[in-house]
Structure 1
Amino acid sequence: MSSLFPALAADPDDTRPALRFGERSLTYGGLRAAAAALAPRIAGAARVAVWATPSAETAVAVVAALLAGVPAVPLNPRTGERELTHILTDSEPDLVLAAPGDDLPAPLARLPRVEVRLHARAGDRTAGAERPMDTTATGPVGGAAAGGALPDAGEDPEAPALIVYTSGTTGPPKGAVLPRRALAASLDALADAWAWTADDVLVHALPLFHVHGLVLGVLGPLRRGGSVRHLGRFTAEGVARELADGGTVLFGVPTMYHRLAEAIGTDEALVKALAAARLLVSGSAALPLPVHERITAATGRRVVERYGMTETLMNTSVRVGEGPHRPGSVGTPLQDVALRLVRDDGTPITAYDGETIGEVQVRGPNLFSGYLNRPDATAAAFDGDWFRTGDMAVRDADGSLRLVGRRATDLIKSGGFKIGAGEVENVLLAHPGVREAAVTGEPDADLGERVVAWVVPADPTAPPPPGDLADHVAAQLAPHKRPRAVRYLEALPRNDMGKVVKRALHG
Structure 2
Amino acid sequence: MLLDSLNPAAVAAGADVGDAVRIDGVTLSRSDLVGAATSVAERVAGARQVAVLARPTAATVLAITGCLIAGVPVVPVPADVGAAERRHILTDSGAQAWLGDKPDDLGGIGHIPVRLHARSWHRYAEPSLDATALIIYTSGTTGLPKGVLVSRRAIAADIDMLAEAWQWTPADTLVHGLPLYHVHGLVLGLLGSLRIGNRFVHTGKPAPEAYAQAVGEYGGSLLFGVPTVWSRIVEDGSAARALAPARLLVSGSAALPVPVFDGLAALSGHRPVERYGSTESLITLSTRVDGERRPGSVGLPLNGVRTRLRSEDGAEVAHDGESIGRLYVSSPTLFDGYLNRPDATAEVLSDDGWYHTGDVATIDGDGMHRIVGRESVDLIKSGGFRIGAGEIETVLLGHEGVREAAVIGAPDDDLGQRIVAFVVGDAEPEALIEFVARELSVHKRPRVVRIVDSLPRNAMGKVLKKELTQWL
Query: TM class by shorter-chain length?
Result: over 0.9
- 109, 112, 116: which one aligns with 1:111: 109
- 307, 315, 331: which one aligns with 2:276: 307
Distance 2:11 2:187 in 1: 24
Could you tell me which residue of structure 2 aligns to residue 224 of structure 1?
196
Change (3 A) 1:109 1:393: closer
1:215 aligns with 2:187: yes
Q: Amino acid of the residue matched to residue 325 of structure 2? A: G
Distance 1:200 1:280 in 2: 12
Could you tell me which residue of structure 1 aligns to residue 454 of structure 2?
491
Could you tell me which residue of structure 2 aligns to residue 122 of structure 1?
none
- TM-score by length of structure 1 reads 0.90
Could you tell me which residue of structure 1 aligns to residue 360 of structure 2?
392
Distance 1:363 1:172 in 2: 26
Matches within 5 A, 1:146-161: 147-154=120-127, 156-161=128-133
What secondary structure is seen at the aligned counterpart in 2 of 1:408?
A: helix
Distance 1:386 1:372 in 2: 19
| 1:346-386 deviation digits (Å, cap 9, x = unpaired) | 2222x221001001100121000000000000001124421
Q: Amino acid of the residue matched to residue 320 of structure 2? A: D
Distance 1:238 1:3 in 2: 30
Return the offset for 1:8: 3.0
Distance 1:105 1:24 in 2: 23
Identity fraction in percent: 51
Contact 2:408–2:465 under 8 Å retained in 1: yes
Contact 2:3–2:195 under 8 Å retained in 1: yes
Return the offset for 1:52: 0.6
- 83, 86, 90: which one aligns with 1:84: 86
Could you tell me which residue of structure 2 aligns to residue 21 of structure 1?
23
Q: Amino acid of the residue matched to residue 345 of structure 2? A: T
Could you tell me which residue of structure 2 aligns to residue 253 of structure 1?
226
Matches within 5 A, 1:124-163: 133=118, 147-154=120-127, 156-163=128-135
Could you tell me which residue of structure 2 aligns to residue 468 of structure 1?
431
Distance 2:350 2:107 in 1: 41
What secondary structure is seen at the aligned counterpart in 2 of 1:275?
A: coil
- 358, 361, 367: which one aligns with 2:328: 361
Could you tell me which residue of structure 2 aligns to residue 141 of structure 1?
none
Q: Amino acid of the residue matched to residue 155 of structure 2? A: L
Contact 2:326–2:358 under 8 Å retained in 1: yes
What secondary structure is seen at the aligned counterpart in 2 of 1:356?
A: coil
What secondary structure is seen at the aligned counterpart in 1 of 2:109?
A: coil
Q: Amino acid of the residue matched to residue 49 of structure 2? A: R
Root mean square deviation of aligned Cα: 1.3
Distance 2:113 2:125 in 1: 22
Q: Amino acid of the residue matched to residue 395 of structure 1? A: I
Matches within 5 A, 1:86-485: 86-99=88-101, 102=102, 104-106=103-105, 108-119=106-117, 133=118, 147-154=120-127, 156-245=128-217, 246-264=219-237, 267=238, 270-323=239-292, 325-349=293-317, 351-384=318-351, 385-457=353-425, 463-485=426-448
| 1:241-272 deviation digits (Å, cap 9, x = unpaired) | 111221101100000000011011xx2xx344
Contact 2:6–2:33 under 8 Å retained in 1: no
Contact 1:67–1:150 under 8 Å retained in 2: no
Contact 2:87–2:107 under 8 Å retained in 1: no
Contact 1:250–1:279 under 8 Å retained in 2: yes
Could you tell me which residue of structure 1 aligns to residue 35 of structure 2?
33
What secondary structure is seen at the aligned counterpart in 1 of 2:344?
A: helix
Could you tell me which residue of structure 2 aligns to residue 501 of structure 1?
464
Change (3 A) 1:7 1:32: closer
Number of residue pairs matched? 465
Q: Which runs of 5+ in 2 are unaligned?
A: none
Distance 1:7 1:112 in 2: 28
Q: Amino acid of the residue matched to residue 445 of structure 1? A: D
Return the offset for 1:465: 1.9
Return the offset for 1:22: 4.0
Q: Amino acid of the residue matched to residue 110 of structure 2? A: P
Return the offset for 1:54: 0.7
| 1:4-27 deviation digits (Å, cap 9, x = unpaired) | 324433124723321101431101
Q: Which runs of 5+ in 1 are unaligned?
A: 120-132, 134-144, 458-462
Contact 2:244–2:268 under 8 Å retained in 1: yes
Distance 2:3 2:24 in 1: 26
- TM-score by length of structure 2 reads 0.96
- 47, 55, 58: which one aligns with 2:57: 55
What secondary structure is seen at the aligned counterpart in 1 of 2:449?
A: strand
Contact 1:8–1:28 under 8 Å retained in 2: no
Contact 1:53–1:208 under 8 Å retained in 2: yes
Distance 1:16 1:39 in 2: 24
